[in-house]
């Protein structure tokens, strides 16, 4: 199976070949590197920019105004703070023009923990991103969804931000991308650039097929009765694993919802599940204090309060400036499997 980052690369290739993507650019995005996480290796439309995030966003907006369809990368989401005003501007263009001007730009950026990135390579960005009205925000947790969400982002006339969970970028999926070779090693030989001299290398792209994941549609990855667990990105597989372990040890079953789209989000899926279970836990790795999960909690309390059987909960990252350059620091900063499992058990067994 393709890894998540290979899936992004395959989607970008499909986009430049079939969906009209005109430019794919950013710092180290073009040859020879092809992105710090290899998301853009071998793409025909990929090119390098100076180390200037504001210039990257401005160029993307200009290309879009001129009729192009650009995809740009901000190398780490931490640098999104340098461009927040331009992101606000890009988000309001269709609204400000009464729908006269599309802004079909896609921003992709690695987000969250996974590399012990300290002050400038470890932040989560979804809470900031959802305050940028006019943008759609998505975050996959596996390779097939990364492929499908990226194609939907490219096809959308609005600006779409694709947040890529760093910790999952090299994790292989469990569902095959349409057109992906059956042999995992064959895919790597076809599209992964060799180490060393790449000047004569050319990728051999598989015959990919179209696959869209609708923006705003969640996926139910586990089904149960003891509680509802809402997550996305790095923490989603932890929630699924915790649900499996609690079924084995306690006989408890959970609805585990992969939100996939953070804005717009799938309120109907959340509501339907919470009405069924009466218990809800939200799990993400963003820092506490105006965490996006707090918005979901507020809406659940306001609209479903009398249907709840236990207090709703949020499990999130610690409110600190960044993850330390040490594995122990990282593990104690953001939710891990044991903490997720304990929170789910507490949710399911609280008596009122």
Which residues have a Cβ under 8 Å from the Cβ of 195 and sit 6 or more positions away? none
Helix or strand (DSSP H, E) at 338: helix 337-349
Count of positions (residues) in the chain: 352
> CB under 8 Å to 154, separation ≥6 — which residues?
11, 15, 19, 21, 69, 71, 104, 106
In the set 121, 123, 295, 319, the catalytic residue is 121
CA distance 170 to 236: 15
Provide the strand spans (E) within the chain. Answer: 23-26, 46-48, 70-73, 106-111, 136-138, 160-165, 219-222, 228-231, 255-258, 261-263, 280-287, 313-317
Neighbours of 352 (CB within 10 A): 7
**If 0-12 CB within 10 Å is exposed, 13-18 middle and 19+ buried, where does residue 100 land?**
exposed
Name the residue among 194, 205, 265 with its Cα closest to residue 32.
Answer: 194
121 is catalytic: yes
* Residue written as token pair 């992105």: 35
By annotation, the residues acting in catalysis are 121
């Amino acid at each position: 199976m393709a890894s998540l980052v290979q899936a992004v690369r395959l989607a970008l290739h499909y986009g430049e070949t079939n969906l009209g993507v005109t430019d794919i650019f950013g710092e180290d995005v073009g040859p020879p590197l092809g992105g710090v996480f290899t998301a853009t290796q071998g793409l025909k439309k990929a090119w390098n920019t100076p180390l200037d995030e504001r210039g990257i966003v401005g160029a993307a907006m200009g290309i879009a105004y001129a009729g192009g369809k650009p995809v740009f990368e901000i190398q780490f989401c931490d640098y999104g703070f340098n461009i927040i005003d331009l992101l606000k501007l890009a988000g309001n263009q269709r609204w400000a023009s009464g729908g006269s001007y599309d802004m079909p730009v896609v921003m992709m950026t690695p987000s969250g923990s996974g590399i012990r990135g300290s002050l400038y390579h470890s932040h989560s960005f979804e809470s900031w991103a959802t305050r940028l009205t006019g943008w759609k925000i998505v975050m996959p947790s596996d390779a097939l969804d990364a492929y499908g969400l990226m194609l939907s982002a490219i096809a959308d006339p609005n600006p779409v931000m694709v947040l890529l969970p760093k910790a999952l970028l090299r994790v292989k999926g469990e569902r095959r991308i349409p057109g992906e070779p059956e042999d995992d090693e064959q895919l790597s030989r076809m599209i992964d650039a060799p180490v060393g001299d790449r000047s004569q290398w050319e990728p051999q792209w598989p015959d990919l097929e179209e696959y869209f994941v609708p923006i705003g549609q969640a996926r139910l990855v586990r089904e149960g009765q003891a509680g509802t667990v809402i997550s996305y990105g790095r923490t989603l597989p932890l929630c699924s694993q915790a649900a499996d372990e609690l079924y084995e040890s306690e006989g408890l079953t959970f609805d585990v919802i992969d939100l996939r789209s953070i804005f717009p989000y799938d309120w109907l899926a959340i509501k339907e599940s919470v009405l069924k279970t009466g218990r809800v836990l939200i799990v993400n790795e963003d820092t506490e204090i105006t965490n996006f999960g707090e918005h979901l909690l507020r809406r659940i309390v306001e609209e479903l309060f009398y249907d709840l059987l236990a207090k709703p909960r949020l499990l999130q990252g610690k409110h600190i400036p960044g993850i330390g350059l040490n594995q122990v620091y990282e593990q104690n900063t953001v939710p891990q499997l044991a903490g997720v499992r304990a929170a789910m058990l507490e949710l399911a067994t609280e008596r009122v």
